[in-house]
Amino acid sequence: MKQKEIFLGNGAIALGLLEAGCQVVTSYPGTPSSEILPEVVRLIKSAGLNTYVEWSTNEKVAFDNAFAAAVSGKRAACCMKQVGLNVAADSLMSAAYIGTTGGFVIISCDDPGPHSSQTEQDTRLMARFAKVPVLDPSSPEEARQMVGVAFDLSEEFQVPVIVRPAIRVCHARENLTWGGLKNNDQKASFEKNPGRWAATPRFRFILHGELNRKLKEIGRRFEKLDPFNFHDLKSGEKYPLGILAGGVPYSVVRDILSDEDRKDIPVLKMCAPHPFPEGLAKEFMSACEKVLVIEETDTVIEYFLRDREKVLGRFSGHIPSEGELVPEVIYGLINKTLEELQMKGLSSEGHESAIELVKGLELPIRKPTLCPGCPHRASFFAIRKARPKAIFTSDIGCYTLGINLGGVDTCLDMGAGITMASGFYHSFAHDQVEQPIVATIGDSTFYHSGPAGLLNAVYNDSRFILVILDNQTTAMTGMQPTPGLGIRADGTKGKTIPLERVVAGCGVDFIETVDPYDLKAMVKLIKKAAEYTSDPAGGVAVIIARHPCVIAYREEAIPQKKEIVVTEDCVECNFCHDWFECPALYKDPDLERTAVDQTLCAQCGVCLEICPKGAIIEA
């Protein structure tokens, strides 16, 4: 029975995985990839499939687990965000040489913008770097189809294949028809062959040659990979301008040309850009005087085009080298190119004056902020109060927003809250300077990449306080469980691995747990930890600030609700706004003091402790 349903792009990818008979799906959450695995779980439950799913502790772990499944002959996939693939890069480079037996597909989701990432990096470049094929969907439906094609290619050529949907595919919704999902009964088997599966450098040279031959063959396949790679040139016709586009920008270009009824501009769609279909590109280039290359976010296609004189793209300054290529940007750059080539322009736009008008309105800037009642807010307040002169190294998660409270000075990548803390320590200690340092990291991020850095810090006698902000979920990406909870991806029970045990295993001797809602206790504990870090016999001190996320655990997170008011004692000193930044505390222009927005207030009561004038009280 087929049914129609509106799918999130990530759901369309999940559907594509199961339609292709993928038997093992692993993932670590990260925007914009996070919903793929939950959608897989939803679909396998509704269709009664036996697919194995797991939230892995990090992307490299996810990669290796899925890779081994593929080596055993099953179809397997791992899903992550683009910077997650950096974590798994070591595995990717090697897996490309070794290859697989069963189909192995890596879904790596890009974030042009960036909307929720450290970088705007282009996974297609990673594919070229690793020498593996990559497919770049232009819509949710296409992403679904591509996953199936990726598995077929992977199995036929015994090579990992990357599918890289960008955020506008992942977080788009489209109506799809689906049904009739079936289990794939491929059994696991492993034939020992150390020359391949445990290849030494001598064999690696041979494998590299094999990979190069595979790529050549796949490149020939990509010349005619309709409907992912094709052009609409009319035979024998010459054009002053053609557009070469891939991925999401392809969809935008098609919409614009169709809205404007521009049949005079041919398009080469290239959604399978690596290995590069050289012949297809040449054919298109030879029919066009100039070719505008529109791709996100880097110069993968443009780099491969040989006839530089004809190419208009990032190298020539026609396409911006940063930021998302949203429709109005693409519209503008096509129009500018048409003008430059003295061709008929697009119909006028007219929204630019509106942008200026809106700028002039001085609308409130709504920067992202920690939720009312968020336990991280309490932790940052206590940390800053107890160690005002410290360097605050931090990490990736909701708590990066502690930057608004002056509680975050650095954010590099997953795990760097700890490794930068030890780096700072040694840098200052080198000059005989005792610099206080407080590192923060979330629970899920700690499991992801905390232990190696912490172990290193203890081993090399670094001195700093590490506060693990344990809100008992992976909040930023949508409340995925952690090993600390012991709940698995499909909701079944796994083994709980408490943070305390992991921290102790890293060699830490000072481990204390506190509820950050109790500000006084936390401030006291941080001061005690500071003494320990200064003691010659001391070391790294770890505080686990444990309080459940107010979004994930709702009522349970705030058992004792307190109605809060601000009295006339408020002198508008701004202390609560600068140090606490709760969205429920706002400056009331009529009262000429701070007030509580009762519709936003979570009634956690933490702010009762913060006002220097004692103006925040319980009603």
Partner 1 sequence: MENINFVLSGLGGQGILFMTKLLAQSAVNKGLKILVAETHGMAQRGGSVVSHLRVGGVRGSLVRAGSAHILLALEENEAYRNIPFLAKGGKLYANAPKTSFPRKEVRPYLEKIGIECRSIPASDIAVKLAAPMSTNLALLGFFSAFQEGPISYDELKETIAQVSPDRFREINLKVFDKGFEGGSE
The tokens for 347 are 């119909």
With CB under 8 A as the contact rule, the residue among 175, 286, 316, 574 that binds partner 1 is 175
CA distance linking residue 19 with residue 15, whole number of Å: 6
User: According to CB under 8 A, which one of 180, 194, 364, 589 is a site residue for partner 1?
Assistant: 364
Handedness of CA 282, 284, 288, 291 (dihedral sign): negative
- Select 168 or 387, whichever has its Cβ closest to partner 1: 168
> Is the torsion defined by CA of 221, 225, 228, 231 positive or negative?
positive
With contacts defined by CB under 8 A, name the span among 67-75, 169-177, 494-502, 552-560 that binds partner 1. 169-177
Selection from 272, 320, 318, 274 nearest residue 297 by Cα = 320
Task: Choose between 326 and 455: whose C-beta lies nearer to partner 1.
Answer: 326
Q: How far is the CB of 191 from partner 1 (least distance, A)?
A: 43
The tokens describing 51, both together, are 């697919």
| 171 binds partner 1 per the rule CB under 8 A | yes
- Cα–Cα distances in angstroms (integers) from residue 85 to residues 38, 144, 302, 499, 510, in the given order: 19, 20, 23, 25, 34
Tell whether residue 361 is a contact of partner 1 (CB under 8 A): yes
Give the separation between CA 136 and CA 142, rounded to whole angstroms.
Answer: 9
Residue 512 gets the label, from left (phi > 0), alpha (psi -120 to 50) or beta, of beta
Least Å distance, CB 258 to partner 1, is 8
User: What 3 state SS string does 346-375 have?
Assistant: CCCCCCHHHHHHHHHCCCCCCCCCCCCCCH
Q: Report yes or no: 544 and 484 within 8 Å, Cβ to Cβ.
A: no
Query: Which of 198, 341, 357, 565 touches partner 1 (CB under 8 A)?
Result: 357
Give me the least distance between CB of 401 and partner 1, in Å please. Answer: 7
Nearer to partner 1, 65 or 116 (CB): 116
* Structure tokens that stand for 219 in this block: 């490149």
Cβ closest to partner 1, residue 251 vs residue 482: 251
Torsion sign (Cα): 505, 507, 511, 517: negative
**Count of residues that interact with partner 1, criterion CB under 8 A:** 52
Tell me: does residue 27 bind partner 1 (CB under 8 A). no
Look-up of token digits 């502790």: 57
Nearest to 145 by CA among 237, 9, 38, 318: 9
Of 355, 504, 565, 591, the one binding partner 1 by CB under 8 A: 355
Question: Is position 597 an interface residue for partner 1 (rule: CB under 8 A)?
Answer: no
Binders of partner 1 among residues 256 to 295 (CB under 8 A) are: 256
Interacting positions 460-479 with partner 1 (CB under 8 A): 476-478
Min dist. Cβ of residue 316 to partner 1 (A) = 24
CB of 422 to partner 1, least distance (A): 27
- Least Å from the CB of residue 70 to partner 1: 29
563 belongs to the binding site for partner 1 (CB under 8 A): no
Applying CB under 8 A, which part among 26-34, 58-66, 146-154, 587-595 lies near partner 1? Answer: 26-34
Residue 308 or 351: which CB sits closer to partner 1?
351
**CA nearest 56: which of 331, 444, 341?**
444
| Interface pick for partner 1 out of 15, 36, 371, 529 (rule CB under 8 A) | 371
Q: Binding to partner 1 by residue 119, rule CB under 8 A?
A: no
Please, which residue, 177 or 235, has the CB nearer to partner 1?
177
Q: Roughly what angle, to the nearest 10 degrees, separates helices 327-340 and 247-259?
A: 60
Please tell me whether residue 232 binds partner 1 under the rule CB under 8 A.
no
Rounded to 5 degrees, φ, ψ at 352 are: -60, -40
Binding track, positions 314-353, relative to partner 1; x by CB under 8 A: ------------xxx--x-----------------xxx-x
Is 370 a binding residue for partner 1 by CB under 8 A? The answer is yes
Q: Which is nearer to partner 1, 93 or 176 (CB)?
A: 176
Which CB atom, from 175 or from 427, has the smaller least distance to partner 1?
175
CA triple 409-528-503, angle to 5 deg: 70
CA distance 467 to 511: 10
Q: Are strands 311-312 and 267-270 parallel, antiparallel or unpaired?
A: unpaired
In this structure, the number of other CB atoms found within 10 A of the CB of residue 544 comes to: 20
- Sign of the alpha-carbon torsion through 349, 354, 356, 359: negative
Question: Which one, 241 or 398, has the nearer CB to partner 1?
Answer: 398
243 scored as a contact of partner 1 (CB under 8 A)? no
How far apart are the two ends of the chain, measured CA to CA in Å? 59
Q: Summarize as ranges the residues that interact with partner 1 (CB under 8 A).
A: 4, 6, 8, 31-32, 34, 115-116, 138-139, 168, 171-175, 248, 250-252, 254-256, 326-328, 331, 349-351, 353-355, 357-358, 360-361, 363-364, 366-371, 398, 401, 476-478, 583, 599
